[in-house]
Amino acid sequence: MASTEDGDDLGQALEAVGPRLRALRRHRDTTLAELAARTGISVSTLSRLESGSRRPSLELLLPLARAHGVTLDELVGAPPTGDPRIHLRPVTHGGITSVPLTRRAGGIQAYKMVLPGVTGHREPDPQTHEGYEWLYVLNGRLRLVLGERDMELAPGEAAEFDTRLPHWFSASGAEPVELLSLFGRQGERAHLRARPRARD
C-alpha cells in the first residue's frame, strides 16, 4: 500500500507537468494548434493539460516529449541521470529492511538487505517460488538453508540458487547482516565477470 508521502510526491510531480509543458511550448514559440498538429492531441486537451485541469497520462506525455525534444524524465521533473544524490525508499517487513536498487520493471531486480540479529535457536521455514537469486554478504554472517544443506556465509562470500529449491536465510547470530540480493522472477541468472578483461 502506497504511503501518504508517496501520494503527495506523485501529486506534486503531476501538478508541475502543466506549467512545464506551457513553458516548453512558449520557449519554442509554438502555438497550441501547431503542437496539436505535431502530436495528434486536440487543442482542448493540450490546453487542459497546461492549465492542470487534465491529469497527464503516459499516452499523452510520450508524444509531447518527442515534440518538445526532451526526455520523459525531464518532462515530469525526475532527477537527471548522473545526479549523485540517492533517492531510495527502504521497506521494512518482518524485521528485514530492503532497499530497492533498481527501478525498472521486469528483468533482474537488485536490493540491499539488512537482516536483524537473532538470539537463541531459530527454526528455519523454507519457502519456494519461481525465480533465481544471488546473494552477496557485505557485513555479518548469514545462515542459509538450501534444501537439505544448512550453511553459513561470511563477508565477501556469495551464493546463487534456483528459488524453486526450498530456501531460507537469516542472521546466524546476534549481529545484523547486510547483503546484496539480485533476483530474477523468471529464473534469470546474474551474469557476473569474475575478473577484469585483460587489456590488449
Residues 119/167, Cβ–Cβ less than 8 Å: no
The grid cell for 179 is: 547483503
Q: pLDDT digits over 176-199, tens only?
A: 999 998 887 665 555 444 444 455
User: Which H helix or E strand runs over 76?
Assistant: helix 72-76
Query: Helix, strand or coil for residue 11?
Result: helix
Name which of 44, 60, 52 is nearest 18 in CA terms. 52
Q: pLDDT digits over 81-122, tens only?
A: 455 555 556 777 777 888 877 765 556 778 888 999 998 888
Q: pLDDT digits over 42-94, tens only?
A: 999 999 988 888 888 777 887 888 887 776 667 766 555 455 555 556 777 77
